[in-house]
Amino acid sequence: MPKVLIADNLSPAAVDIFKARGLDVDLKPGLSKDELIEIIPHYDGLAVRSACKPDADVIAAAENLKVIGRAGIGVDNIDIKAATAKGVVVMNTPFGNAITTAEHAIAMMFAAARQIPAANAGTQAGEWPKKAFMGRELSFKTLGLIGCGNIGSRVAERALGLTMKVVAFDPFLTEERAVELGVEKVDLETLLARADVITLHTPLTDQTRNILSAEALKKTKPGLILVNCARGGLVDEAAVRELLDSGHIGAAAFDVFAEEPAKENVLFGAPNFVATPHLGAATSEAQENVALQVAEQMSDYLLTGAVTNALNMPSITADEAPRLKPFAALAEKLGLFAGQISDFGFDEVVIEYEGEVAELNRKPLTAALLAGLLRASRGDVNMVSAPAILAESGVKLTETKTEDSPVYDSLIRVKVKTKATVNAPEGGWRTLAGTLSAGRPRVVEVKGMALEGDFAPVMLYVNNHDKPGFIGALGAMLGEAGVNIATFHLGRTEAAGEAIALIGVDSEPPADLVEKLNGLEHVRYVKVLQF
């Protein structure tokens, strides 16, 4: 039974879902890093919010961990790179608190425009400071969205309801989606020049860090209202303070800060500045929603292999998982085969999908094939870590699809270009293809030769010249060594040409036998394969 650790305060409903789905669950919020490292090896899943920080040390100790689920959007507290290298899926819940965060951004915009917190403080202090506060209307003003995804699009909807004009900078926003939302897609320079109000709704990445730099902020309209309910680090806080003091920025409202908890900050005490302590997702509805979602997503993955809202692995729906599973097994075995016969490494990988499989969700299949390919030489690699490892290695990957397959309903072919050697200064190609037969993976092509056979746990791969008597001599040598043949599959280019023998055996052939086989006159290559 998979075991899940909830290491932050989550709604009790999450515990109920894990238990109802048949998982063993422990609720232990507030663990120190050392305490977490000590117990994490016992768990398959880790559910967190923002307080628990699964860093590289924690993940390194997580021997059995398969998934980390973040009840919320931001994953700054999770070392995704370390998780990916370890083969751990990282999920978040991007939709559960989108409405709540959008509402908070709108509330902060109004609070800044009408200076509500300062007016409230003066009024309750008995000052009745009516003349001290002159607000600004938001109707018919231009709102600039930096980020127009799940949250930004909801802010846009509400701003349009306030009769604001909305412009958006988001590289992932299509023109069609912009028209659907009723916003104008612009570049960042245009947004800075036109916006009366700017709100940020983007994750913190290398591309977005300090996106509103001092230089960018100086390009904004005088009197700008600036709202950040997304992530600290997106805005140069010191520059915002200077522009608030000078009056160039008319008002600012921040729910997030570069360092949290923000007990001190350069913005505190600035004129017309409103601050809240990271409350964007702090409603009972949102916390219930993200807790339910993360529990369902983690349970689905641990029980069925379905992947939802993962940040380091292709998504697989619960409906897709059963159909993809046998093709993933085929792809992994083909990759493992190719990896074991590429003795000197490889520079390029080509994956071809033909027939019905070409119309499926191919990303998980490619990940499975790469996992097998890399596991042959690197050991502990899985579908999560394989694509990242291949990308970091600089190996070129090409994927193609063809709707029709000449012979089979579905076919997966992998071509691997091996590294150059003394005997092959330009390298060479290793080509394999396979299909499913009654749901079972089968090899149907090796080096361009038709050859149909099942995968066995141990197989002997022999590449030889097609000569009379060779097969008999090979069988005799295996028999003399006490190696029993379970299956025997042959392929060749033509009579007396190049041939392949793929032999399933009941035990691993001894090294001295393999050496003798490699020394035979008509043998080009012999390899023991493990599946």
Point out the residues that are catalytic.
Answer: 231, 260, 278
Identity of residue 250:
G
- DSSP summary character for residue 40: G
Question: By three-state DSSP, how is residue 99 classified?
Answer: helix
How far is the first Cα of the chain from the last one, in angstroms, to the nearest whole number?
26
Residue in the block written with tokens 């502990």: 380
Handedness of CA 376, 382, 385, 388 (dihedral sign): positive
**What contacts 355, CB < 8 A, 6 or more positions away?**
402, 403, 404, 405, 408, 409, 410, 411
Q: CA–CA separation, 286 vs 299, rounded Å?
A: 20
The closest of 57, 59, 69 to 10, measured between CA atoms, is 69
**Angle at 187 (CA atoms; ends 182, 188), nearest 5 degrees:** 110
Asked if 88 and 66 count as a contact pair (C-beta separation under 8 A), the reply is yes
210 vs 470: CA distance, rounded Å: 69
- Contact between residue 444 and residue 435 where contact means Cβ atoms under 8 Å apart: yes
Which of 519-531 are b and which e, b meaning 16 or more Cβ less than 10 Å from the residue's Cβ? ebeebeebbbbeb
Q: Give me Rg for the CA atoms of the chain.
A: 30
